[in-house]
């Protein structure tokens, strides 16, 4: 599938439904991210990109200044100095801190998973077009960007949806929690298991991915699991550091909610974009995901579509999703 088509698949004018309603196929954007979400196949998740660039952080004082007061919530404050020049150092440090955190009790089957997610997407630069019955527009007042800020409630034990769903890749929040809890310590075995949980494509429209890209994409979905035990997330981070091609942006970046976060990145194979997994620099919890232009490039509209050539600049955020809040609650509609 060409990049323009992937871009057009994002609905610019439709409201984002609750996660439960998105079970049959949400993407790109929304998924994700709480447990009980639709588990997208490898190519079924966001397909656009994330930012890059400048200034290394080498002292704890500087890091504290950059973190600010609006970082993602939940968890305790991480201990002091941290440099952002090695993904292995950052991820293993994160794993060490998470391993010290006590695990909360597993939610009861009658409880709900509440999430609030901020999503920002880049709109096409000019005009609008109908493709496959969907209307795609551009020229918004917010400099070619639009955003959603939805609340979602999903049953922790959503067995009815799992049993009655038409897709075979649906898992409940409880299934996700337990799958993460059972992951092995060995990074290679863990990566193989996560790839099996989020299989790659196998068709012309969704071709198989190389192992490293498969691993990074699948790990991005797995670390987004909520709830997840701290020691399970720690194992995931250690394994993520072992994926070939993984990097860390050498400064804190902004997520969709405007918070300072750590960006663990990997350039998409055969693409002009890179995928970024975003991590809270205070407690190392999952904060969100972005896609960013890895280089300057242009995309021409497919034949039959009257749209201008899209131009992208290196570092331009194409698609960003931030988890603002996540909690276990006792009833649908309840907020923490």
- Where are the chain's structural domains? 3-329
Is the pTM higher than 0.85?
A: no
Mean pLDDT of the 191-198 span: 97
The more confidently predicted of residues 11 and 161 is 161
Looking at residue 129, what is its pLDDT? 39
Q: What is the pLDDT of residue 199?
A: 95
| Residue 292 Cα distances to 177, 212, 270, angstroms | 29, 19, 14
State residue 135's pLDDT score.
34
**10 or 311, which is more confident?**
311
Q: Torsions phi, psi of 212, nearest 5?
A: -65, -45
User: Would you tell me how many other CB atoms lie within 10 Å of the CB of residue 296?
Assistant: 12
Q: Which of 37-41, 56-60, 217-221, 277-281 has the lowest mean pLDDT?
A: 56-60
Instruction: Output the pLDDT for position 147.
Output: 76
The candidate with the shortest Cα–Cα distance to 150, out of 187, 99, 115, is 115
- Cα–Cα distance, 301 to 126 (Å, whole number): 11
Instruction: Using pLDDT thresholds of 50, 70 and 90, give the confidence band for residue 149.
Output: confident
Name, in order, each residue with C-beta under 8 angstroms of 96's C-beta and a sequence gap of 6 or more. Answer: 234
Written as six digits, the tokens of 214 are 């498969």
Q: What is the mean pLDDT of residues 118-140?
A: 53
Instruction: Record the tokens describing residue 127, joined without a space.
Output: 């005009």
Question: Mean pLDDT of all residues in the chain?
Answer: 76
pLDDT tens digits for 69-88? 333 444 444 455 678 999 99
């Amino acid at each position: 599938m060409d990049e323009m088509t992937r871009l057009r698949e994002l609905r610019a004018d439709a409201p984002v439904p609750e996660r439960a309603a998105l079970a049959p196929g949400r993407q790109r954007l929304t998924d994700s991210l709480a447990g009980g979400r639709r588990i997208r196949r490898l190519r079924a998740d966001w397909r656009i990109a994330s930012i890059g660039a400048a200034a290394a952080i080498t002292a704890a004082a500087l890091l504290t200044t950059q973190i600010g007061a609006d970082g993602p919530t939940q968890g305790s404050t991480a201990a002091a100095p941290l440099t952002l020049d090695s993904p292995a150092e950052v991820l293993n440090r994160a794993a060490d801190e998470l391993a010290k955190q006590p695990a909360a009790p597993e939610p009861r089957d009658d409880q709900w998973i509440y999430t609030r997610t901020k999503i920002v997407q880049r709109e096409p630069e000019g005009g609008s077009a109908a493709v496959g019955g969907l209307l795609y527009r551009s020229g918004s007042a917010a400099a070619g960007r639009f955003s959603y800020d939805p609340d979602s409630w999903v049953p922790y034990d959503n067995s009815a949806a799992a049993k009655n769903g038409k897709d075979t890749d649906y898992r409940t929040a409880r299934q996700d929690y337990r799958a993460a809890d059972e992951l092995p310590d060995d990074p290679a075995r863990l990566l193989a298991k996560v790839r099996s949980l989020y299989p790659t494509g196998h068709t012309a429209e969704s071709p198989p991915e190389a192992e490293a890209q498969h691993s990074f994409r699948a790990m991005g979905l797995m670390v987004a699991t909520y709830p997840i035990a701290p020691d399970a997330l720690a194992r995931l981070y250690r394994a993520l550091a072992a994926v070939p091609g993984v990097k860390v942006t050498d400064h804190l970046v902004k997520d969709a909610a405007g918070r300072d976060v750590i960006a663990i990145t990997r350039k998409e194979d055969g693409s002009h974009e890179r995928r970024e997994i975003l991590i809270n620099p205070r407690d190392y919890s999952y904060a969100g995901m972005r896609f960013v232009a890895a280089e300057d490039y242009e995309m021409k509209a497919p034949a039959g579509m009257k749209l201008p050539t899209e131009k992208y600049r290196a570092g331009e955020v194409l698609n960003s999703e931030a988890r603002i809040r996540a909690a276990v609650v006792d009833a649908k509609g309840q907020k923490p």
